[in-house]
Amino acid sequence: MKHTPPLPAVRCILVALDDACSDHETMETAARLAADLQAELQGLYVEDVNALRLAALPFTQEITTASGVARRIDPESMERAMQNKAAHVRQLLERSAARAHIRCSFSVTRGHVTQRALLATGETDLVLFGSRSHAPATRLPAAAPARSAVRPVVAVLDAAAPRIQTLDTAVAISQRQQRGLVVLVRGAPPGAVELCADRVRDRLADRDVNARVSRIPIDTLADLIRAAHTHGAALLLLSRTCRLLDQTAVHTLLENLDCPIVLG
Amino acid sequence: MELSPSELRWRCAADQLDFETTNDLEELQQILGQARALDAVQFGISIRRHGYNMFVLGPPGLGKRTTVNYFLSDKAATEATPDDWCYVNNFEQAYKPRALRLPPGRGAQLQRDMTQLVDQLKTTIPSTLELEEHQSRIQEVEQEAKERHNRAFKELADRALERGIQLVRTPGGYAMAPVRNGEVIGPEDYEKLARGEQQQIEEAVKELQEELKEIIERIPRWRMETRDKIKELNRQATQHAIAHLLSQLRADYATLPHVLDYFNALEKDVIEHAEDFLPQEETSPNILGIPMPGQPNFHRYRVNLLVDNSKSQGAPVVSENHPSFQNLMGRAEHEARMGTLVTQFTLIKPGALHRANGGYLVLDALKVLQQPFAWDALKRALNAKQLCIESLGESLSLVNTVTLEPEPIPLDVKVILVGDRMLYYMLYQYDRDFADLFKVAADFDEQMDRSPENCALYARYIATMARQEHYRPFDRQAVARVIEQSARLAGNAEKLSVSMQSIANLLREADYWASTDNAPTVTARHVEHAVAQQIYRADRVRTLVYEQIRRGTVMIDTQGARTGQVNGLSVIDMGNFSFGQPSRITATVRIGKGEVIDIEREVDLGGAIHSKGVLILSSYLATRFAQNRPLSLSASLVFEQSYGRVDGDSASVAELCALLSALADVPIRQTLAVTGSVNQHGQVQPIGGVNDKIEGFFDICQACGLTGDQGVLIPRTNVKHLMLRQDVVDAVAAGRFHVYAIETVDDAIALLTGREAGAPDTAGHYPPETVNCRVAARINELFEIRQQLSQQGMDKAKS
């Protein structure tokens, strides 16, 4: 008989926010994830140092997305704009948290968003990066309510050091969001992969989740991106110990995927 | 000539009625005494042509409405039931709702069908749009759009990187900046670069910024394209989903092309607004439970069933008791929403004309005319043959809010106005549209001839009423008394009143008095008691007036003789009751220039007809007594102790007699009163209210004591109108009171003075000591005095 296991011990979820990823959809995704896992939400808005630096250059201009107009920027106005943005993002996050009936906190720092978020992984259980799509975040009015439930949660496990916590978190998200689950087991040697996949299957056997375990070779980031595209990931869940990951890798994944990424 | 008792009242001989009680009589199936009006009503109802609306005229109480309703109910029942009318939304111009005409009963069906359709759409459309296949297609489009965006920026970012420039996101958009090792160069490092390199960077940034601008400028177009694609997908899916729902409806209403047109428009609108049918977010904005504008509005798919004839049989007969503009023409109501008055087609309410369309509308003419704008609106509708719902407040600028212009509805109605004669003639005279729109006049008579046949019909009418209203049967003596009272109401012994309201009241009350006696039948005594009680209830004012006379406060002599003073008679009409009142009329004469001064006129208390009567006196005097010389007198006439308006010429005989008495210095018997009008030749003409006048003087004389000398002079031509009370007739029969019929002023003078009036011989001379001789002598004397005075004046002027 299948059953719903107890929730994994996720007490805090950090959502990494910056100018590229601070829209309503990201807030809602984070709030829902926190609500599903009964965790507290922690917003971290990172003021991009590159943006601050370029404002000091004498020739740079900002092209606004709202109007397409180019305007001269300076460090003061950039800082002011970032402060305003941070305040706005905080409001969005608190509103989403209130709707989801979860607790939330918010802090602002300066640097690179991936770097700052990865630094915080030790102090939090999960780190969420929202989609960094360039497409406007506003919803198309004529669209029916999106039923992205058809898109699965994709979890990637290293066969060499599979984190059961990551798998359990993926299962919990899939169950609560009524999504399918795809578990990609990667690594070497093939025997270890096979063994890991079997263990995963065994663990999922009595879970009430529509799961599929796949052994595919994922040796590079490009392989990972391709696999995520192939499965149409609604959410990509990676172990923080995944050997593919570093600051540049997360940035690359975010630039090439249009789904949120969770490091657990 | 003194009248005999038999001439004073017509008696309906009960033994001429061939039944014992009204139970023996058949019910009357016709309207009494209104042959001309009935023909007109039947014609007016039957003819179905433009402008052949009807005005039913006549005084109140003749049964005009009852008659019209009687004929209408018969006629309407045989006619076709008119169609239903609905207002539906005009999806292209919401402020101009469309009118739909459907066979009787189909309007309600359409209303139910549309409610059901919307309920079905609320489940069908969401389930269709949420189908996995459809969602996948939507996501494909969205994904494609997203990819197009991302690709454009990524390609730009890649091109930039090749030139050492990075695309950086800022709080407001994007910027381009030079990078080294993945980091944007700071200003200090930038300053250290060679000028050439700086120029190269700046040019690259400039070029890339232009490309960036182009991409950003393309974003709205991409979004629009994506939205259009999604809309088209939704449209196709919705069209497919609702096709089978509408196909059944289209089959059901296949014979009604305008309904099919509506379905087509509706289908288009549903497809356009498919997302309205999707489940709404729980956080839909509302204040105190009131949805805010922009929320889905399914009201627009409702059907406002304006006229529902599903339960009707035949043509409608509508009677509107409060024919205000809106009650006649219909209205578009408003509802307050967030402090604003708004309206929509579901708030359109029908008027009486809508309900009567295809049938008949009965209205009280006076009420229509009393209601502001109602008459004009009614005429407009009849002229245009269509019903337009207009906002009165809007057209008068009383309210300034959104209003509707509903599609006009063709109007085919026969309007029947009921009103009095004056109203009809005034409208005919002063309203130029009236004659065109109300071509049929049904003029109801107040009386009919008192023939034996009509008396028999009257008896059957009484029988019919008694049966229908569950009265006791009337015995034939009672019926005879009712018929006599009818003649009295007609004010004419040769006529019978057809004021059915008065007769019905009498029958009802006679039945009541019979019930207090526990009598099985209504008898003559009950009828007489009912009449007496009617008078008793209404005669408070008469009692007061007579009391004033009896006490001498109002001075009326009923004994002795006075020169230049006569008892005239007038009628006071209280509406439901009238009575005669004696008035003292006096005349004084002196030398003058031939004028007879009407003191009532001098103080604006005399009406035009009264003044005319007084002027006729001057003419009579001059013609009869001063044909060849100036009339050298000045006379004054006055109604003593009269403080209200005096009108009519029924006192002109009395006034002339008072004048002649004053001229002849011959006293007039105060035991007599006189009524009648006179012409220039001294002939006495008929007057109205003769019965009331005689009875009025009789009552005063009786109160002061009947001496046997008292009586009333009436015009001979009024004898046929006599229907006096029985006590008056009895007094005359006993010789205690007299009624004289006169034809000329000389008749009146002879009776009033007890002297011969005197007829002139061929030379124009009157017999000595006759009244006219004395009058002629006095006038001659006044002439001579005036001549002398005139001569003396001339002599004085010469000297």
Note whether residue A223 is domain-resident.
yes
pLDDT tens digits, residue range A23-49?
Answer: 888 888 899 989 988 999 999 999 999
Task: Provide the pLDDT for residue A142.
Answer: 43
What value, to the nearest 5°, has the Cα angle with vertex A214 and ends A211 and A219? 140
**Residue A230 and residue A184 share a domain:** yes
Chain B residue with the nearest C-alpha to that of A71: B175
H-type alpha helices, B273-391: 325-329, 352-356, 365-370, 374-384
Task: Report the number of distinct structural domains present in chain A.
Answer: 2
Q: Please tell me the distance in Å from B183's CA to the nearest CA on chain A.
A: 6
Chain B hits for A255, Cβ within 8 Å: 154
Instruction: Please determine, for residue A147, whether its predicted confidence score (pLDDT) is greater than 50.
Output: no
Cβ contacts of residue B677 below 8 Å, gap of 6+?
Answer: B613, B649, B650, B652, B653, B684, B685, B686, B687, B715
Cβ–Cβ gap A147/B153 under 8 Å:
no
- In single-letter form, the type of residue at position A73 comes to I
Distance separating alpha carbons of residues B229 and B224, to the nearest angstrom: 8
B333 and B390 Cβ atoms separated by less than 8 Å = no
**Residue A242 and residue A153 share a domain:** yes
Task: Provide the pLDDT for residue B698.
Answer: 96
Instruction: Please determine, for residue B399, whether its predicted confidence score (pLDDT) is greater than 70.
Output: no
Percent over 90 (pLDDT), chain A: 27
With an 8 Å Cβ cutoff, is A147 touching chain B?
A: yes
Distance separating alpha carbons of residues B312 and A32, to the nearest angstrom: 61
Task: Provide the pLDDT for residue B774.
Answer: 93
Cβ–Cβ gap B230/A82 under 8 Å:
no
Cβ–Cβ gap B234/A142 under 8 Å:
yes
Ramachandran assignment for B404, one of left (phi > 0), alpha (psi -120 to 50 degrees), beta (any other)? beta
pLDDT tens digits, residue range B94-148?
Answer: 889 999 999 999 999 999 999 999 999 988 988 888 888 888 888 888 888 888 8
- As given in the structure block, the two tokens for residue A209 are 């989740």
Cβ–Cβ gap A63/B173 under 8 Å:
yes
Q: Mean of the pLDDT values across residues B262-273?
A: 92
Burial of B711 (0-12, 13-18, 19+ CB in 10 A): buried
Cβ contacts of residue A166 below 8 Å, gap of 6+?
Answer: A155, A157, A237, A238, A239, A264
Q: Please tell me the distance in Å from B288's CA to the nearest CA on chain A.
A: 20
Chain B hits for A50, Cβ within 8 Å: 166, 168, 177, 179, 183-184
Instruction: Please determine, for residue A143, whether its predicted confidence score (pLDDT) is greater than 50.
Output: no
Q: Mean of the pLDDT values across residues B709-733?
A: 94
Q: How far is CA B648 from the centre of its chain?
A: 31
Note whether residue A6 is domain-resident.
no
Beta partners for residue B161, in sequence order? none
Q: Please tell me the distance in Å from B142's CA to the nearest CA on chain A.
A: 9
Distance separating alpha carbons of residues B273 and B296, to the nearest angstrom: 9
Cβ–Cβ gap A150/B209 under 8 Å:
no
Instruction: Please determine, for residue A2, whether its predicted confidence score (pLDDT) is greater than 70.
Output: no
With an 8 Å Cβ cutoff, is B165 touching chain A?
A: no
Q: Mean of the pLDDT values across residues A173-193?
A: 85
**Residue A217 and residue A109 share a domain:** no
Q: Please tell me the distance in Å from A78's CA to the nearest CA on chain B.
A: 8
Return the CATH number at A114: 3.40.50.620
Note whether residue A69 is domain-resident.
no
Note whether residue A108 is domain-resident.
yes
**Residue A158 and residue A123 share a domain:** no
Q: Please tell me the distance in Å from A59's CA to the nearest CA on chain B.
A: 7
With an 8 Å Cβ cutoff, is A35 touching chain B?
A: no
Please report the residues numbered 258 through 297 in chain B whose beta carbons come closer than 8 angstroms to any beta carbon of chain A.
275, 278-279
H helix or E strand, kind and range, residue B595: strand B595-598
Cβ–Cβ gap A142/B213 under 8 Å:
no
What value, to the nearest 5°, has the Cα angle with vertex B370 and ends B366 and B374? 100
Burial of B398 (0-12, 13-18, 19+ CB in 10 A): exposed
B622 and B631 Cβ atoms separated by less than 8 Å = yes
Q: Mean of the pLDDT values across residues B550-559?
A: 90
With an 8 Å Cβ cutoff, is A78 touching chain B?
A: yes
**Residue A99 and residue A31 share a domain:** yes
Distance separating alpha carbons of residues B417 and B419, to the nearest angstrom: 6
**Residue A187 and residue A111 share a domain:** no
Cβ–Cβ gap B177/A53 under 8 Å:
yes
Instruction: Please determine, for residue B154, whether its predicted confidence score (pLDDT) is greater than 70.
Output: yes
Q: Mean of the pLDDT values across residues B474-494?
A: 93
**Residue A108 and residue A28 share a domain:** yes
**Residue A84 and residue A31 share a domain:** yes
With an 8 Å Cβ cutoff, is B134 touching chain A?
A: yes
Cβ–Cβ gap A65/B172 under 8 Å:
yes
pLDDT tens digits, residue range B517-545?
Answer: 999 999 999 999 999 999 999 989 999 99
Q: Which domain holds residue A83?
A: 12-64+75-129
Cβ contacts of residue B741 below 8 Å, gap of 6+?
Answer: B1, B2, B3, B713, B714, B715, B716, B718, B719
**Residue A124 and residue A17 share a domain:** yes
Q: Please tell me the distance in Å from B75's CA to the nearest CA on chain A.
A: 58
Q: Please tell me the distance in Å from B96's CA to the nearest CA on chain A.
A: 27
B682 and B662 Cβ atoms separated by less than 8 Å = no
Instruction: Please determine, for residue B755, whether its predicted confidence score (pLDDT) is greater than 60.
Output: yes
Chain A hits for B275, Cβ within 8 Å: 141-144
Beta partners for residue B88, in sequence order? B98, B303
| Residue contacts between A and B (CB atoms, under 8 Å) | 150
SS3 readout for chain A? CCECCCCCCCCEEEEEEECCECCHHHHHHHHHHHHHCCCEEEEEEEEEHHHHHHHCCCCCEEEECCCCCEEECCHHHHHHHHHHHHHHHHHHHHHHHHHHCCCEEEEEEEECHHHHHHHHHHHCCEEEECCCCCCCCCCCCCCCCCCHHHCCEEEEEECCCCCHHHHHHHHHHHHHCCCCEEEEEECCCHHHHHHHHHHHHHHHHCECCCEEEEECCCCCHHHHHHHHHHHCCCEEEECCCCCCCCHHHHHHHHHHCCCCEEEC
Note whether residue A212 is domain-resident.
yes
- Report the residue of A49, A54, A251 to disrupt the B interface, i.e. the one with the largest count of B CBs within 10 Å: A54
With an 8 Å Cβ cutoff, is A62 touching chain B?
A: yes
**Residue A183 and residue A119 share a domain:** no
Residue B594: DSSP 8-state: S
Cβ contacts of residue B36 below 8 Å, gap of 6+?
Answer: B443, B445
Cβ–Cβ gap B209/A73 under 8 Å:
no
Note whether residue A2 is domain-resident.
no
Q: Mean of the pLDDT values across residues B599-613?
A: 81
Q: Which of B350, B374, B383 is nearest to B53 (CA)?
A: B383
Cβ–Cβ gap A255/B154 under 8 Å:
yes
Looking only at the bridges linking them, the beta strands covering B54-57 and A211-215 are unpaired
Beta partners for residue A142, in sequence order? none
pLDDT tens digits, residue range B208-259?
Answer: 999 999 999 888 899 899 988 988 888 888 988 888 889 999 999 999 999 9
If you search the block for the tokens 């969205």, which residue do you land on?
Answer: B142
Cβ–Cβ gap B231/A142 under 8 Å:
yes
Cβ–Cβ gap A150/B279 under 8 Å:
no
Task: Provide the pLDDT for residue B645.
Answer: 80
With an 8 Å Cβ cutoff, is A1 touching chain B?
A: no
Looking only at the bridges linking them, the beta strands covering A261-263 and A126-129 are antiparallel
Chain B residue with the nearest C-alpha to that of A84: B171
Note whether residue A70 is domain-resident.
no
Chain B hits for A54, Cβ within 8 Å: 168, 175, 177, 184
Instruction: Please determine, for residue A5, whether its predicted confidence score (pLDDT) is greater than 80.
Output: no
With an 8 Å Cβ cutoff, is A150 touching chain B?
A: yes
A151 and A228 Cβ atoms separated by less than 8 Å = no
Q: Which residues of B are catalytic?
A: 650, 693
Percent over 70 (pLDDT), chain B: 97
Note whether ipTM > 0.90 here. Answer: no
With an 8 Å Cβ cutoff, is A64 touching chain B?
A: yes
Least confident of A169-178, B363-372, B473-482, B695-704: A169-178
Chain B hits for A144, Cβ within 8 Å: 126, 129-130, 134-135, 138, 234, 275, 278
Instruction: Please determine, for residue A157, whether its predicted confidence score (pLDDT) is greater than 90.
Output: no
Q: In this structure, what are the phi and psi dihedrals at residue A43, rounded to the nearest 5 degrees?
A: -95, 135
Query: How many Å is the Cα radius of gyration of chain A?
Result: 19
With an 8 Å Cβ cutoff, is A247 touching chain B?
A: no
Note whether residue A194 is domain-resident.
yes
Q: How far is CA A252 from the centre of its chain?
A: 13
**Residue A92 and residue A180 share a domain:** no
Starting at the earlier edge strand, list the strands of the sheet with B565-573.
B595-598, B633-639, B578-591, B565-573, B672-674, B711-715, B738-742
Q: Which of A118, A158, A124, A110 is nearest to A33 (CA)?
A: A124
Cβ–Cβ gap B209/A64 under 8 Å:
no
**Residue A124 and residue A155 share a domain:** no
Cβ–Cβ gap B142/A143 under 8 Å:
yes
Residue B166: DSSP 8-state: E
Distance separating alpha carbons of residues A125 and A113, to the nearest angstrom: 17
